[in-house]
Structure 1
Amino acid sequence: MRITRHYLTLAGRRVHYRMCGSGPPVLLVHQSPRSSDEYTAMMAQWGERFTCIAPDSPGFGQSDPLPIASPTTEDFADAILDFADAVGFRAIAAYGFHSGGIFLMNALRRHPERFVALAVGGYPCFHPHELDDVGEAYLRPFHPQPYGEHLLWAWNRMLEQSWYFPWYKPEQARRMSAPHADPMVLHPQVMDLLASGDAYRHGYRAALSADYDVPPAGADVPPALLSSYSSDPMTAHMARFPALPAGWSTAEQPDPAAHSSGNADWLAHHPAPAFMPVQDIDRGFLPVRTDAFDGLIHWRGSGDVLHIHGPGRSLDLLPESVLAIDLPGHGLSDRWPGEPPLDWAAWAAVIDSAAKQLGASDTRSEPLLPGEPELLFPDLTPDRYGNHLVNAWALLRAGHAFSPRYAITRDTMAPMAEGAMDLTTLAREHLALMRSSAALALHRARLSTR
């Protein structure tokens, strides 16, 4: 099932959301430090029954952070309601997991009239002594470091949160029941953390410092399901809940798949009214179909000239003032189906289609990097130990001092621009390179036109 992607601006703050399916609308709110990408597999299933709308929470994924120094639970909950209003919800049926569920619960407690029904996965009910485990020690600052130290921390922090709870206490008593070390599962989680940067702490802090917001028994509130699956550390918390309001229930499912299915079945009994979602018109995702590509192309800006980034880069690295796209397998655009083409004609067809839809009469491309393609763009397949992240960082760092960037000799020293090693810039370049699945193919395809 095709998942589409959109932007919506609320009081100057950009919100990114995913959507798919047909049927009654359901709002999906992700956990920290993820993004709506967390729900892509679930949306593909739920889309058979619902119109799924999943925003990136403020400061996560592609959504701007709240303009607040230390946002609270209420601030994140209000942001959910503001988005629901702006996108078109008339009444809300919603699902949220962990911090997503915490924010939704706060919104429902304060504004029950806004909801049709709420399903929450892994809602916490901490004992006072447990709150020390999820305080500031849980929220280590996250800033780019010169030699990529932050990348190894991010990888291992996300890895070991499946080994211990909390992640920073590697002790026998803190062991989790379902540890893993699958780099293909871990990589998208780490990429979401890299996209958020230090803003990841705001969502976590707001959720982990939240009050217990489940309404008391007797409260006049819409129905809700509070559930979890066996390996989730929050499952044990359900036994601590005091008496629930009428129409509220709890359930423990054996695994994530059963949890997803159980929540979908429950929400199907509480449909929300349909509406036509709203989106921005100055940036977004174009549907592009050619002989070799059928997917979404990320774009932003305006103008007669369409600017094309170089291999392994993205439109985020181009001036904000220009019209630009992310090529397939780059930035936020969809990947090529199968192996990326080495034939420039396939790339040109996508560019021509995007240019036509955006009203551009000309194109302009960034120059290619000098050097051997395979050395400029080595294999960065996710590695069990996170080495792919650090390798990419080191390659980019060298590229600001040597040309070609993989050859470090006296003869290859290149002039260094002022601010070349700026860590914020390096982090943006690194994110673009790590998102690129077709950099080598694009480089070789462009070389074939010379």
Structure 2
Amino acid sequence: QDPGPGSVIRPGGERGFVTVDGRRVLIRRYGRGPAVFVIHGSPQSSRAVEAVCQTLAARGLTAIAPDTPGAGASDPLPLADPDSADFAAALHRLTGTLGLSRVGLYGFHTGAATAATFAALFPQNTAALVCDGLPAWTETERARFLADYLTPFEPRWDGSHMAWLWARMEAQTVFFPWHSTAPAERMSMAVSSPEQIHANAMDLLAAGDGYRPVYRAAFTFRAEAVVDRLPSTALVACAASDVLAAHLDRPALAGRGLILPDIPNLHAAAADHLAAHPGEPAPDHLAGGFLALGDDRLAIHRLSEGPGCPLVMLHDAGGSAADLTAPTDRPVIALDLPGHGLSAEGWHGPVDWPWTVRTALNALNLSDAEVSGVGAGSVLASALSGAEPVPCRVLGVPNPPPKLSPEWDGAHLIRAFRIASWEQLFDPWYRRDPAHLIHRPSHLSAAHARAVSLLLAQQRWSDLETWAAQNAP
């Protein structure tokens, strides 16, 4: 009944979880061949390095991109202020857990600091290294960034934290540092698209205020402490447009780096370099936790173990398996439904909700399991089992449903938080009158978490809600 690692590994953009020292680590895999670990920058996740991973895969390499500890869907390190050495040690434990003793490394910005530190600490495990934008801070810069770059992220009832988040992600495409408006610190690049800004915003939302210790490691990194210990197969490079290109002229890196005209050229040079100094071939099976359904991936969560008949739990529209409370006296499996939670990626076009879940249960050998759900998930469970649904709330959305897809001004972030806030006060949330009042305490943390879930689901939330309203008795 366990999907097992073999059911989730398919060529190109695969995802799965690995347990390292009790921590859950999400990894992405691209291609087949010698292993190259690709380490993303901050405050991002592994989704941000897909372009270079695709280039490496096309060159006959296996690109393995983890969400670094505390970023994306990976659990944080049990440390208050981890530094690059701590992240490098965690990466070393990951490579060992996957059975790899000699690997290639590619790191971008914060990831470059981690990769360089790995190569300095574990030269016997490093086949080759590419640092894309290795920082070499001055003491003035370091003090400035540690003092005011890492603003605390704190949800507020008025939703202003969402406005701040969008403005902060916009600003980092215009200024470096992002919180400056000085003409001398304005970058000569176009503002990123709403989709790109949204992706970065969602990465920070995944980490919450935990983004700060992850990002802090980039500013405490000291290039001068590692560059003399890098292997001969190390390549320090930068695209000409990168704000860190100027760091290659600083004392710690002078004469060691290469500036390339643009990002595609840099990725191609990295692929050539890493292919020329290959590590061990990656094993066929790396991770578990996702089920392949065509080109899409469904996240599978095992919430509890035990004897007896398995229970499959389905979450509400706009939610995820993280919302569910499972009994502990039997095996319980939960799915992140298409377009929701960790299944949010992909799922283009209409979804046949009952067919998709039924197909997943058959693939997991759970076709005879008991299925239950919450809200819209209850209606979906009844469509599979024929039992009477117990939606637990009023089903339906306004016509037309509110848009949660990226907008240029970030209004969708605030809209999601307002919906989540009103859900705690009225049922349905858009009937804001005494007849639909909910008499229960409101919790800011719950409203924020719900807003993040809604943003992950975007329009799949209203798709599932509408289907459930149409199919409820």
Q: TM-score, normalised by structure 1?
A: 0.90
Query: SS where residue 225 of structure 1 aligns?
Result: strand
Secondary structure of the 2:16 match is strand
Q: Deviations over 1:200-256 (max 9, x none)?
A: 111111121112246455x57241111111221100111124578xxx952212222
Indicate yes or no: 2:285 matched with 1:274: no
Structure 1 residue 275, shift from structure 2 partner: 3.5
Q: Residue 260 of structure 2 aligns to which amino acid in structure 1?
A: Q
Q: In the aligned structure 2, how far is the partner of 1:230 from the partner of 1:435?
A: 34
Evaluate the alpha carbon distance shift between residue 220 and residue 358 of structure 1 in structure 2; reply closer, same or farther with a 3 A threshold: closer
Match for residue 366 of structure 1 among 374, 385, 393: 374
1:224 aligned onto 2:234: yes
**Amino acid across the alignment from 1:145:** R
Deviations 1:417-445 (A, max 9, x none): x4xx3232222211111011412222222
- Counterparts in 2 of 1:256 and 1:10: CA distance versus 1, 3 Å: same
- Residue 392 (str. 1) matches residue 400 (str. 2): no
Deviation, structure 1 residue 300:
0.6
Secondary structure, counterpart of 2:30 in structure 1? strand
Shift of 1:153: 1.3
The corresponding residue for 1:84 is 95
Rounded Cα–Cα distance in structure 1 between residues aligned with 2:348 and 2:287: 31
Q: Does 1:253 align with 2:260?
A: yes
- Aligned match for 1:240, one of 231, 250, 271: 250
Q: Could you tell me whether the CA contact under 8 Å between 1:181 and 1:384 is conserved in 2?
A: no
Secondary structure of the residue aligned to 1:28 is strand
Residue pair 2:127, 2:233 contacting (<8 A) in 1 also: yes
Amino acid at match of 1:77: A
Flag the 1:160–1:124 CA change in 2: closer, same or farther, 3 A.
Answer: same
Which sits farther off after the overlay, 26-35 or 134-143? Answer: 134-143
Residue by residue over 1:374-423, the C-alpha shift from the partner in whole angstroms, topping out at 9 and shown as x without a partner, is 4594111211111100111011111111121012112221222x4xx323
Pick one of 279, 288, 295 that aligns with 2:293: 288
Instruction: For residue 276 of structure 2, give the secondary structure of its aligned residue in structure 1.
Output: coil
- Contact between 2:405 and 2:412, CA under 8 Å: does it hold in 1? yes
Partner of 1:50: 61
Q: Which residue of 1 aligns with 2:379?
A: none
Question: How far apart, in 1, do the equivalents of 2:87 and 2:190 lie?
Answer: 30
Are residues 1:309 and 2:315 paired?
yes
State the alpha-carbon separation in 1 of the partners of residues 70 and 443 from structure 2.
Answer: 22
Give the C-alpha shift of residue 372 in structure 1. 4.1
Q: Do 2:55 and 2:271's aligned partners in 1 also have CA atoms closer than 8 Å?
A: no
Deviation at 1:26, TM superposition (A): 0.7
Alignment of 1:111-260 (within 5 A): 111-213=122-224, 215=226, 221-242=231-252, 250-260=257-267
Q: Tell me the secondary structure at the aligned position of residue 17 of structure 2.
A: strand
CA distance in 1, matches of 2:207, 2:218: 16
Counterpart contact for 1:109–1:213, Cα < 8 Å: no
Alignment-mate amino acid for residue 334 of structure 2:
A
1:317/1:429 contact within 8 Å kept: no
CA distance in 2: counterparts of 1:405 and 1:91, whole angstroms: 54
Shift of 1:359: 3.6
Structure 1 pair 115/204, CA: closer, same or farther in 2 (3 Å)? same
Match of 1:447 in 2: 469
Offset from partner CA, 1:103-144 (integer Å, 9 cap, x none): 111121122111011001111122222223321301111122
Aligned to 1:29: 39
2:395 touches 2:465 (CA, 8 Å); kept in 1?
no
Q: How far, CA to CA, are the matches of 1:412 and 1:205 in structure 2?
A: 46
Q: In structure 2, how many angstroms separate the alpha carbons of the residues matched to 1:338 and 1:57?
A: 28
Structure 1 gaps of 5+ residues are none
Confirm or deny: 8 A CA contact 1:375 1:406 kept in the other structure: no
Distance 1:181 1:279, change over 3 A: closer
Using the TM superposition, give the Cα deviation of residue 84 of structure 1 relative to its aligned residue in structure 2, in angstroms: 1.0
User: How large is the RMSD of aligned CA atoms in angstroms?
Assistant: 2.2
Contact 1:122 1:227 in 2 (8 A): yes
Q: Which runs of 5+ in 2 are unaligned?
A: 1-10, 377-392
Q: For 1:335-346, list aligned pairs within 5 A.
A: 335=345, 337-341=347-351, 346=352
Letter in 2 for 1:43: C
Name which of structure 1's ranges 394-403 and 374-383 shifts more when overlaid on structure 2.
374-383
- Which residue in the other structure is 1:348 paired with? 354
Asked if the contact 1:7/1:14 (under 8 Å) is kept, the reply is yes
Residue in structure 1 matching 2:449, options 428, 433, 447: 428
Q: What are the superposed Cα offsets for residues 296-334 of structure 1, whole Å, 9 maximum, x if unpaired?
A: 100111561211112111111112554110111111115
**What code does the residue aligned with 1:296 have?**
R
**Contact 2:37 2:64 survives alignment (8 Å):** yes
Counterpart in 2 of 1:438?
460
The superposition leaves residues 7-64 of structure 1 with CA deviations (integer Å, 9 ceiling, x where unpaired) of 1112211111111211211100111111111122332332222111111101000000
Change (3 A) 1:336 1:184: closer
Instruction: With the length of structure 2 as denominator, give the TM-score of the two structures.
Output: 0.86
CA distance in 2, matches of 1:259, 1:234: 14
Amino acid of the structure 2 residue aligned with 1:439:
W
Aligned CA distance change for structure 1 residues 334 and 389 (closer, same or farther; 3 Å): closer
| Structure 2 contact 119–230 (Cα < 8 Å) conserved | no
* 1:407 has 2:414 as partner: no
- Percent identical across equivalent pairs? 31
CA distance in 1, matches of 2:344, 2:230: 45
Indicate if the aligned counterparts of 2:136 and 2:252 stay in contact, CA closer than 8 A.
no
Sort the Cα spacing of 1:215 and 1:205 in 2 relative to 1 into closer, same or farther, 3 A. closer
